[in-house]
Amino acid sequence: MITAVETAGLSKRFRSGQLAVDSIDLAVPEGSVYGFLGPNGSGKTTTIRLLLGLARPTAGSHRLLGARMPDAAREVLPRVGALVEGPAFHPYLSGLDNLRRLDAADRSVPPATARARIDAALERVGLLAAAGKRYRHYSLGMRQRLALAAALLRPRDLLILDEPTNGLDPQGTREVRALLTEVARGGATVMLSTHLLSEVEQVCTHVGVMHLGRLVAQGGLAELRAGTAPRVEVTSGRPGAARAALADLGLAEITATGDVVTARLGDTAIEEVAPALVAAGVPVRGLRLLAADLEELFVSLTGEGFDVSG
Amino acid sequence: MSAADPGTLPAPRRPDRIRDDPTVPAALPGQGARRGGGSRRAIGRLFRSELWLIFGRRRNWVGLAVLCAVPVLVNIATKISAPAPGQGPPFVAAITGNGLFAALASLGLELPLFLPIAVASISGDAVAGEANLGTLRYLLAVPAGRTRLLAVKFAALVVFAATATLLVAFVGAVLGLALFGGGPLTTLSGTAVPFAEGVGRTLLVCAYVTAMLVALCAIGLFVSTLTEQPIAAAIATMVLTLGSEIADAIPQLSAVHRYLPTHYWLAFGDLLREPIAAGRTGPGLLSALAYTALFTTAAWARFGGRDVTS
């Protein structure tokens, strides 16, 4: 597997002694949309700062697009678009002038095409009409869009985005998701940190979960879901008989609470359950599939809720 | 946000194109074919962007206007009531004899406080201002390059110091010549030099004052790398300047006087002797050079290894 982002034992201990990132081994496959999840304060942003070379790791190493960082920063970072901890621009400059400045800082692009690049990026995030307005007069959503435009100033092979839909209205959120999907379809890898599980379900192919500075889970979304097997829930006036029938069917982890009996489906198809119950003469009042719930999975991994700040 | 037509975007550029490799044909028009050509141009772009940041800001225009108010005041006050020869601040009494002295009198009046305030606030803002806004992380992620960014910022500070000095001298000289006339300049040694040489001497004084302020720029730039509060950096630089001036006025500290950064600042009058006296201006330039070298190196060492956490 070719990895766009690869870390080996990457760690960061702050001067305060706090271990913000604890020996993580990230593997973001090339071409994936990787959801970087974790509660607030779990070390996501610090990890992103380490990846971009803004901060130095206390231990460990990492590669971006196959090249060793920070040695290859000058060659690799121009191919990486980033949004770190929210937008930040000069308030008294216009959106256009702010992007001009970032473009001017990039040694690897021809100055002659600067305006075309900037206009294309502004157009992509729907900000072209407000390009001449001073940044201080932008709304939070417009600021977020400008930061995305900066990340898209030139074609990128990797986007590292820290909560890209933060502050956007529902329409803007949809647009950004569509944009990310489009960028990914173009062959770029997208790594986005978020605490919105719906976002992960809609756009991500891979997931990494941070908790207290450690990477507690990582893999394909389908693969992770498979880890939490779906269960079947049967409501019956004779729960004892239902239990027995489900056991005969070969289901495991059977639990009963009052009239409700649940069991892990395992390899058994949900379609086989009803006939088996009927064949055993169990009166069935309700039958329902309990799908693997991402939220439950993450809460089980991190022990806390996710959307602290929405 | 419309789905952008990929055809309107510049072609994706691979890392081998990013280094100005002469064996790779220039991908786009305007790309320097010679090694380093594009890079030099890119430094020019960032430098211009940096100048725009300083000179495009209204706050700084107000600051420059305040600097210009002093030569206006000096000229008007002298017109109303000229001090007797040998009385009043240096050069002021001489203005009535030759308007060119208004430039020198203004510089002499502004060098202890107003010019350092201007330089301290701009240089204190250089790195701390970007860190405070958060724009520093985005510049470094471009990547602008830490050494390059610092070099460009220092170069822009030098331009500002020269601009402020020349502006004060220019306003003073133009108004002085208009009010009091020009003609041959009587040097401090009593002999007269032609008007053209008088102008040359004034420019020499401007160069000397700029050199003194450049040393202060270096100190301010270093302080600016220590904090994320631009005001704190500016105040700290001012405190250092005033502290040096106070220490320079205490006779008991005469042993260290010549090591103080401000000690030779007002020696510029020696450039108006015939012949030019280098007894104090020579060491003054050496002192400024030493402070500049010391503090730009310190700024580089500090900024190069610092974690950017803003």
Residue range B126-185, pLDDT digits in tens: 999 999 999 999 999 999 999 999 999 999 999 999 999 999 999 999 999 999 998 899
Q: Does the beta-carbon distance from A155 to B141 stay under 8 Å?
A: no
**Tokens linked to B253:** 């500290």
pLDDT band at B309 (very low <50, low <70, confident <90, very high): confident
Can you tell me the distance from the alpha carbon of B136 to that of A216, in angstroms, rounded to the nearest whole number? 31
Give A251's contacts (C-beta < 8 A, 6+ positions apart): A232, A263, A264, A265, A266, A268
Choose which CATH entry (3.40.50.300, 3.40.50.720, 3.60.40.10, 3.40.50.620) describes domain A3-226: 3.40.50.300
What pTM was estimated for this model as a whole? 0.84
Those of residues 291-310 in B touching chain A at CB distance below 8 A are 305, 307-309
**Nearest residue, CB atoms, B143 vs list A74, A93, A112:** A74
Q: Give the torsion through C-alpha atoms of A237, A239, A245, A248, to 10 deg.
A: 180
Q: Which segments of chain A belong to CATH 3.40.50.300?
A: 3-226
Residue B149 near chain A (CB below 8 Å): yes
Q: Is the pLDDT of residue B78 over 80?
A: yes
Checking A10-14 for CB contacts under 8 A at 24+ apart, the result is A10/A47, A10/A50, A10/A57, A10/A59, A10/A60, A10/A61, A10/A62, A11/A57, A11/A58, A11/A59, A11/A60, A12/A43, A12/A46, A12/A47, A12/A50, A12/A55, A12/A57, A12/A58, A13/A58
Nearest residue on chain B to A82, judged by CA atoms? B141
Q: Going residue by residue through chain A (310 aa), what tens digit of pLDDT does each one get?
A: 689 999 999 999 998 989 999 999 999 999 999 999 988 888 999 999 999 999 999 999 999 999 999 899 999 999 999 999 899 999 999 999 999 999 999 999 998 999 999 999 999 999 999 999 999 999 988 999 999 999 999 999 999 999 888 888 888 888 888 888 888 898 999 999 987 888 888 889 999 999 989 998 898 888 877 766 677 889 988 888 888 888 888 888 888 888 888 888 777 888 888 888 888 888 888 888 776 667 777 777 777 544 443 2
**Tokens linked to A247:** 């056991």
Residue A80 near chain B (CB below 8 Å): yes
CB of A163 within 8 A of CB of A193? yes
Pairing type for strands A80-83 and A67-69 reads unpaired
Q: A78: which chain B residues are within 8 Å (Cβ-Cβ)?
A: 13, 18, 142-143
Spell out the CATH class of A229-291: alpha beta
Chain-centre distance of CA A50, in angstroms?
Answer: 18
Can you tell me the distance from the alpha carbon of B119 to that of B239, in angstroms, rounded to the nearest whole number? 13
Can you tell me the distance from the alpha carbon of A261 to that of B183, in angstroms, rounded to the nearest whole number? 108
